[in-house]
Amino acid sequence: MKRIAIIGSGDLGQQVAHYIHQDTKDKVVAFYDDFQDLGIFIKNIPVLGKINAIYDEFKKDKFDEILIAIGYNHLDFKEMLYNKLSNVIPFYKFIHSSTLLDSTAKIGNGTIIYPGCIIDQNVRIDDNVLINIGCVISHDSQISKHTFISPAVSIAGFVNIKKKCIIGINTTIIDHITIAEKTQLGGGSVVIKNIEQSGLYVGNPIRFIH
């Protein structure tokens, strides 16, 4: 059994803890959160400190591995935390047991894959990515670091999504598409051509908003 600490005790952190407890023998033993009081319990899990206490807490053997459960509005901060901590603290990798994961797929450290996903052959999902419920990522596609994939996203083959993208719920991306770093796609977007400029895109087919 691994003892897991989660950065972020909000809805996302609570949901991740729920899936870990429901689906594995591992145990979430702590939240670290700058916006909660030390010592309170959230869903029976204690808040053991602020984020800047994490390294000292790890040295005191309070936990074995860590995850970042911070939402898509704070991807720059999520990236900063991962880069700061990944060289000194092991990151947990959570792949729900209901995920259909091809043996050739490669999943990075700190990545979270929710229930009901299909990860096809030769897919690469980099570090610190979140893949929400019921997503399909087809063969030979790549999801780069710190990206947030919302529920029910369908990604065809040979797609390359760069760092810190936000892919909205029910988005469809056809094959051989590249999406620029820090792109946000609104819910229900349909992507049929490369996105070369970062920004917000919505619609079917997508159009640039800002």
Planar angle of CA 144, 149, 150, nearest 5 degrees: 175
- What local confidence, expressed as pLDDT, does residue 102 receive? 98
Q: Considering only CA atoms, which of 193, 180, 158 is closest in space to residue 206? A: 193
Question: For residue range 142-192, what is the model confidence (pLDDT) as tens digits?
Answer: 999 999 999 999 999 999 999 999 999 999 999 999 999 999 999 999 999
Q: In this predicted structure, what is the pLDDT of residue 178?
A: 98
Residue 115 has what pLDDT?
A: 98
Q: What angle do CA 125, 88, 101 make, to 5 degrees?
A: 20
Residues written for the chain: 210
Q: Which residues pair with 195 in a beta bridge?
A: 179
Q: Which amino acid is at 172?
A: T
pLDDT at 15: 98
**Token pair of 66 as six digits:** 């860590």
The reported pLDDT for the residue numbered 202 is: 98
Indicate which residues carry an active-site annotation: 139
152: Cβ contacts below 8 Å, ≥ 6 apart: 132, 133, 134, 135, 169, 170
What pLDDT score was predicted for residue 165?
Answer: 98
pLDDT for residue 189: 98
- Give pairs for 195-202: CB < 8 Å, separation 24+: 202/168
Let me know: does 177 contact 162? Beta carbons within 8 Å. no
- pTM score > 0.75 for this model? yes
Given a cut of 70, the residues of the chain with pLDDT beneath it are none
Amino acid at 108: G
Q: Return the pLDDT at 124.
A: 98
Query: 14, exposed or middle or buried, with CB in 10 Å at 0-12, 13-18, 19+?
Result: middle
Predicted local distance difference test score (pLDDT) of residue 110: 98
- Report H helices in 2-127: 11-23, 54-59, 75-85
Structure tokens at 152: 């029910």
Q: What is the structure's pLDDT at 118?
A: 98
